[in-house]
Structures are given as C-alpha cells and as structure tokens.
Structure 1
Amino acid sequence: MDPVELLLHPVRLRIVHSLAGGRSLTTQQLCDRIPDASKATVYRHVALLAEAGILEEAGQQRVRGFVERHYRLQPARATVSAERAAAATVEEHRRAFAAAMAALLAEYSAYLDDPAADPARDQVGYRQHALWLTAAEREELIAGMRAAIVPHLAHEPGDGREQHLLSPVLFPMHDVARHDHDS
C-alpha cells in the first residue's frame, strides 16, 4: 500500500508520532498513549503499519502466556517523498491535511486531559500569523524553519527530554482579489 494512503489516518499518524526518535513500544504501550482509540483499533492499525514495513518488530517477550511484541518505526518507510507529495491530487492533499489536523486535535486533547498538563509551563503555542511573502521570501522562511527544526529531529528519548509535537502549517490564503493583482 502507498505510504500516503497508510498515513492518511489520524490513529496511524499518532502511532508514527509515538514511535519517533528511535522509540520501541509495545502495542499496549501505544494503546496507553492513544487512550481515545479502542484497543482493537490500535492493534489493527499497528498490524497494517507492520505489514507495510513502516513498523518493524524490535523484540518480543512472553507476558502472562501472551507474546508481547515491541515495535519501532522505520523512518525511511514512514516518509512521503517530495516527488510523491508533488504528485498528490488535490483530494489527497485535502485528506492528508484533515488526517494531520485530526491527529493534532486528538494529541492536544489527550495532553489537556492529563491532570499534570500546564500549557503556560509547557510553553504551548498555537498562534496563527497572516504573512505577506514573495516567492523568494517564502523560500527563505521555509529554509529558516528547516534550519531551526531539522537538527532537533535527531534527538532520541532520554536526557530529560519530553516528546513534543510541532506542526508547522503554511499555505497561501484564498484571496479573490489575488488574480486581479496578477493581471
């Protein structure tokens, strides 16, 4: 199955997020991290991701007569290539954005449901800014964001690190008058 099709589901996106950074988790641990989805749903999506090679078994142990498997993410398999993204249809872009936003809302709700949640202490941010950019300024902005974010993608769990979800979203706003300015 096409990675885009596999990742166009909020629960599967949340599984991928949970395993980012080289983590190895059991399906039960994934269920604990995604409490708003049923166990059957999480198990089904883990199986789909494993069958597609996006997840690989990182080990197993016997617990109370059952085999408990640990899974880890295969980042190269969980990535949508630039070529595939460029070839995506408008409907695929719409579905991908909806899945990403559904996963983001679910993760944020799970965070707020934690009694220890403290948005001020945790420096939670969700501001939106309307920017006026030329194509060159947009490219400069994206390059600057990449330069700021990419080095942090290599961080692994440990050393007092808590996992955070960063979701930069950038797109041109619909402007009926835009075409009038272009003529």
Structure 2
Amino acid sequence: MASADVLLHPVRMRILQALFGTDPMTTSRLRERLPDIAPATMYRHIAVLVTAGVLEVVDERRVRGTVERSYRVSQEQGRIDPAARAAMTREDHRQAFTTFAASLMSDFDRYLTHDDADPQRDGVVYRQAAVRLTDEEFATMVAEIEHAVVSRAGNTQDGSRIRRIVSLVVVPDEPKT
C-alpha cells in the first residue's frame, strides 16, 4: 500500500479518482478529463504514482516517435493501509479530509459543467444522517456498505451503465469517552 503522502496530494487524488472504475487511460485521455491540470504537472504526478506502484502501466504503443502508456490503478496500492492511517496526526487527517472534500467538489463541478447535466434525472444524491451504533454495529454497517460498492465496482461499461462516483465519509459527532 502507498503512503498517505503519495495518495493524498490533491492532483494525485484527482488522477486516481479519474481512473477508478474505468478502463485504462493514457495521459492524453487523463488530460481531457482533467483539463485544468497543466501537462507537465500531470506527467510529474503520474510518474510519482507509477514509482510508488499505485499506477500500473498496462499497455505501451508508439505514437509519432514517443511511447504512449495506458495506466490503471493497482488495487493493492491504491489505498492507505490501517497502520499508516493510525500514524497520521490530527493535522494530517485535517489535510487529508480537506483534499478529499476538494476532490469531491471538483468531481461535482466537472459534472455540472456539462450542458446536459440534470441532477434530478441523473440520480445525484448527497445526504447526511445520524445513526447511533455500537462499535460492532458500526463495523457491520461499514462492511455492508463496502460490500455493496465493491461488489459492483467491476461492472463492465455498456450502453446502459453510467459511471457513478460513490464516496463515503463517516465522522463521529463527538469523540468516544
């Protein structure tokens, strides 16, 4: 698994989110999806992700004298392991959450910039609910949510399926006593 520093950089997080649940993409295709990221910046951050093992090169082909690579996220390396999360300071968590929230806002903004975006028709959902659970009940709920998402993450692209980004945030209302 990669370090938090590698995964939680704002640009790298956006690159990873663009690649989650998709067919492999070239840097050119990533630049089309993330046009606000300068080409040199995109190449630099892709190199960091490849070096860390977070991105895998799945294809190479020659295009006008250069090598064009296609990348996908390594499922083993594309997350922060529990030990690394446990070692993060409060400030590390604050920074990580800020990066995560900014990435969510960027995804939503990218969606809304499409002329035909219709949140009601397209099934946009953002909700918040408070639940009271024991630690065991909480662990069960998280496992159920993860199973529901992961079991569908491998669905193939076809004419009837729409790629949707599912994000989960759980924040205690107050610390345990």
State if a TM-score over 0.5 links the two structures. Answer: yes
Question: Over residues 51-76 of structure 1, what are the superposed CA-to-partner deviations in whole Å (9 max), with x where a residue is unaligned?
Answer: 21211222222223332211122111
- Alignment identity in percent? 39
Mark the structure with the bigger radius of gyration: 1
Q: Which runs of 5+ in 2 are unaligned?
A: none
Paired residues for 1:65-76 under 5 Å: 65-76=65-76
Q: Could you tell me how far apart the structure 1 residues matched to 2:4 and 2:159 are?
A: 33
Q: Aligned partners of 2:100, 2:22: CA distance in 1, in Å?
A: 21
**C-alpha distance in 2, partners of 1:47/1:57?**
11
> How far has the Cα of 1:130 moved from its partner?
2.9
Aligned residue-pair number: 177
Q: Which amino acid letter does the alignment assign opposite residue 167 of structure 2?
A: S
State whether structure 2 residue 4 is matched by structure 1 residue 37.
no
Partner of 2:89: 89
Give how far 1:150 is off.
Answer: 2.5
Shift in CA distance, 130/17, structure 1 to aligned 2, threshold 3 Å: same
What TM-score results when the alignment is normalised by the length of structure 2? 0.86
Q: Which residue in the other structure is 2:25 paired with?
A: 25
- The whole-number CA distance in structure 2 between the counterparts of 1:85 and 1:14 is 20
Compute the displacement of 1:22 (Å): 5.8
The answer to whether the Cα contact below 8 Å between 1:58 and 1:69 also exists between their aligned partners in 2 is: yes
Secondary structure of 2:106's counterpart equals helix
Give the Cα separation in 2 of the matches to 1:90 and 1:156. 39
Which residue of structure 1 aligns with residue 107 of structure 2?
107
Scaled by the length of structure 1, the TM-score of the pair is: 0.84
Letter in 2 for 1:99: T
1:1-183 to 2 correspondences below 5 Å: 2-21=2-21, 23-158=23-158, 160-174=160-174
Q: How big is each residue's C-alpha offset from its partner over 1:138-181, in whole Å with a ceiling of 9 and x where there is no partner?
A: 33432332232221123343464322111111111248xx8xxx
C-alpha change, 1:155 and 1:88, in structure 2 (3 Å) is: farther
Q: 1:19-60 deviations in whole A, cap 9, x for unaligned?
A: 223621110100111122222222221111112121122222
Residue type matched to 1:108 in 2?
F
State whether residues 22 and 73 of structure 1, in contact with CA within 8 Å, keep that contact through their aligned partners in structure 2.
no
Runs of 4+ in 1 over 4 A off after TM superposition: none
- Which string of whole-angstrom CA distances, capped at 9 and with x for unpartnered residues, describes residues 71-96 of structure 1? 12211111212232233222221121
Instruction: Confirm or deny: 8 A CA contact 1:3 1:78 kept in the other structure.
Output: no
The 1:147–1:75 alpha-carbon spacing in structure 2 relative to 1, beyond 3 Å, is closer
What amino acid is the match of 1:157? Q
Change (3 A) 1:31 1:170: same
